[in-house]
Amino acid sequence: MRRFAHLTMLLAALLGGAIVCEAGNIVGRLQLVEKDGKQASDVSEAVVWIEGVKVQAKPVAAEIRMKDKTFVPHVLAIPVGGTVKFPNDDSIFHNAFSVSGDNRFDLDLYKKPKTGAWTFQHPGIVRVYCNIHPQMSAIIVVRDTPFFTKPGRDGRFVN
């Protein structure tokens, strides 16, 4: 979560180094400095996006699995109108919920083999939790543009 907070503050400066290719791709490399001044070795849980471009993205279906008392993946990026399925792969009860502003939801308790789902109608950062297992958390970044992506471990990204 600490890296995510720093990313939002640095995003505008970092995108200044992005290159727009002739084919319409946005290419760049995200570099993140940790508290100790060293460059982060893995930024694959970050999300990079461009703000202010109002082009509507097509809704998508995505998935965050509940497995071994963990949400996988921990960070997901989707466009507004996208639906996230939350399959429970554990034989114990889990719950996926969020109190994040206009994207609040609660899928109640269920266990394997059930799946809950939610469609996100507003841009923003959605923090997801399980009300039984406090160590379970995930972040969904909902964007109102198709211009977003997650970089690789080395920070390189293409959209």
pLDDT tier, 128 (very low <50, low <70, confident <90, very high otherwise)? very high
Interval 36-55: pLDDT, tens:
999 998 999 999 888 888 78
Percent of the residues in the chain that have a pLDDT greater than 90, as a whole number? 63
pLDDT tier, 24 (very low <50, low <70, confident <90, very high otherwise)? low
Residue 76 φ/ψ region, left for φ over 0, alpha for ψ in the -120 to 50 degree band, beta for the rest: beta
CATH topology of domain 61-143: Immunoglobulin-like (2.60.40)
pLDDT tier, 92 (very low <50, low <70, confident <90, very high otherwise)? very high
Supply the pTM of this predicted model.
Answer: 0.81
Interval 136-150: pLDDT, tens:
999 999 999 888 899
Is residue 28 over pLDDT 50?
yes
Q: What is the mean pLDDT of residues 11-26?
A: 48
Domains in the chain: boundaries: 2-50+147-158, 61-143
**Pairing mode of beta strands 75-79, 137-143:** parallel
Is residue 130 over pLDDT 70?
yes
